[in-house]
Structure formats: structure tokens, C-alpha cells
Amino acid sequence: MAEKITALDAWHVPVGLRRGHAMSFGTVRHADLVLVRATADDGRTGWGEVTVLGGPYWSEESAESVLATLHKYLFPAVIGDDVHAATPDTRVRGNPFATCALDVARTDLRARALGIPAAALLGAYDPAPVPLSWSLAGETVPQDLDEAAEQREQGYAIFKVKVGARPLRADLDRLAVLREALGPDVSLRVDANQGWSRADAGAALRPLAGLDVAFAEQPLPRGDTTGLAALQAATGVPIAADESLGTLTDATALISADAARVFVYKLAKHGGFAPARHIAALAGAHGIDGYLGCMIESSLGTAAYLAFAASGVPLRYGCELFGPRLLTDDLTHEPVTYSPGHVHPPHGPGLGVDVDAAKVAALATAHVRVDGRQEQP
């Protein structure tokens, strides 16, 4: 008898950050986590998570919209599905965060039912440690310097600096101070989160090259592919596409325009494992390097991103899966494992982490449920 999905739950769980995370669109002081649990008729469960940074600022989705889309549209569509059925790319148009949360939960459930790691279900299984970047996004330069020194002592050799919230001259001066403090052996990257104009981005190119910046992430608004292509043509600093890279269509447009030399992967913005892997395959075929970003997830969401990394996706620039170290609380019984300068994909079936369901319920500010064993309204 086939195993069926009989119940689906989702919770909105706000979790504070250990310090403000200053980005071009504002300073984030907490992360809005949405967790999904898929339950099979034998009682087995699978979990997924996406994180929204304070509201519909980074993308159009908020924690409230993710919960509503899951409850009204996605959950009713998959109740009764075979646990082992391949997860469809989407059941709704857009809404990649909502789609991703459900996709990760279903993938975790399916892999646990088979007794294998989720990465092995997705592709080649290579659970090697992933080089880890720390993001410097403090509200003052002294704060960044203190934090950089602390993380350097803990083995970090990669730092990404958030820019775009200050005037360009202040950002460049800050980068120069950080480069001098960290030394020439550290890999330094910058991320403007769409915060620069074409003029500012163009003016930044020569100073960034002089500071030996490894890449400049999303210097322009996501729809300005022409501007990104012009910047890439004008500099030897690789342009990294993040907000501009959501769908396979986006990836094709960026490659056709030679608008980015690095693709920043995030399961949430791609809508789940399958579309993310399709984009990575296209990137590999065209010589585009990979980097695994984050939305400041707990150990659950981080484990999902690490399953993607361990499924054979080339990540020349490593990852920035520091979420569990920046959040004030975690939602799994045991966190993902870090070592100096690296993060380790969990072993074990599914995503390899066990969620503390009692803590999720205690911290949640909203909960929705669809139970296939009860008549739905």
C-alpha cells in the first residue's frame, strides 16, 4: 500500500538576531522563519523551512503571504499525494518561498522514508565540508572590525561586506579599512543588495579591483540586466547575480547578456531543489561559478541548503550559511556542525537534523493546518 501525505502544518516563527544586519533596504533585527511539516499515514514526518527578512523587502513575499499561500492553495493540492511521488516544480505561479518550504518538507519526508540522505535523493552524494563566508553587516565600522577580528580568530578566511546602506565614499573607506585589518590573504566580497545606482557602481569598480574584491554581488536593481552586463564588461571583478537570479529564464537572460560571472543560489528564491539544480546545471554548462547564499535560516533551513551543496553542485566560492550562528535561537535538537572556516552537511536520513517540534509550537506566532483525515471546508 502506497504511503500518503495525510496532514500538513506551517508555523510562523520570528527569531531575533544577535546584532542588527544592515543592508541597503534597512537594518534587520529578526528573521521570520516559516516551517512546514508534512506527515505521512504511518506517522513519519518531513520538515522544510524558508526565512523572510522582516517583510516583503528582499522579495515580494512575506511570512504572512507564505503562510496564506501554503494554507489555501498548496496544502490542499498535495494532501493525499504519494510520499514517493516526484515533487512538482510548482503548484502556483510565482511564490517561490512558499513553494520551496513545501518542496523541502516533501523531499525530507521522501528521503527519510527511503532511509537515505536528501542529497543522495537529489543527485551525487558528496558530504564534504563547504568553505564558509561570514557577512559583515554591522551598523558601525568599529563593530565590523571587532566582529571581523573575532571571526578571523575562529578560522574564517572569507568575508562578505554588505554595502549600499551608506554613501558610496563611506562604503569604499570602510572596505579599505577592513582590507587593511584582515590582510591580503582573506577573500573579501561585497554585496549591495541592489543598493547602488549605475553611476555609483561604475565609480566603485576601480577601487574594488584595487582592494582585490573576489566578486561584487547584485550592485544594481534586479531588472537591470543591461546595466549588469555593462559593469561586467568594464571590470575584471566578477559580478555575482542574486536578486536578479530567480528562475531558469533569469539565468538564461544573464548568461546571454554576459551579465554575471557568479550565480548565487538560494533554494527559497528558486522555489525548491529541482529548479535550483536546473539553474546550477545551466551555469555549469556555461562556465558560471557558483556561490551558495542564505536568508539567515535556522539549522533546518541550513541543512536543506547543505543537502543542495552535497548533491554535486560546484561551489567555487563556497557558501554563507552562517544563519544558526547569527540567530538567537535554533529550532533543531542538534545544530548543524561548524569547524574553522567550514560548515558540514549533516549525515543521516532526510536533511539529517531533527526539529524540536515543541519549541516551534512555543515560539510560533501563527499556525495553519490541513488534515486530509478531516473533511475540509
Q: For residues 351 and 111, what is the distance between their CA atoms, to the nearest angstrom?
A: 8
Neighbours of 255 (CB within 10 A): 18
Cα distances (angstroms) measured from residue 259 to each of 57, 224, 228, 280, 294: 24, 10, 5, 16, 22
Specify whether 153 is catalytic: no
294: closest CA among 308, 280, 282, 310?
308
Q: For residues 233 and 197, what is the distance between their CA atoms, to the nearest angstrom?
A: 17
34: closest CA among 345, 363, 320, 322?
363
Cα distances (angstroms) measured from residue 129 to each of 263, 321, 352: 20, 12, 15
What's the sign of the alpha-carbon dihedral 322, 326, 332, 337?
A: positive
Residues 6+ apart with CB under 8 A from 152: 182, 186
Neighbours of 359 (CB within 10 A): 15
Specify whether 320 is catalytic: yes
Query: Choosing from 162, 217, 269, 297, which is the catalytic residue?
Result: 162
Q: For residues 201 and 208, what is the distance between their CA atoms, to the nearest angstrom?
A: 10
In degrees and rounded to multiples of 5, residue 136 shows phi and psi of -95, 110
- Report, as residue numbers or ranges, the catalytic residues: 162, 320
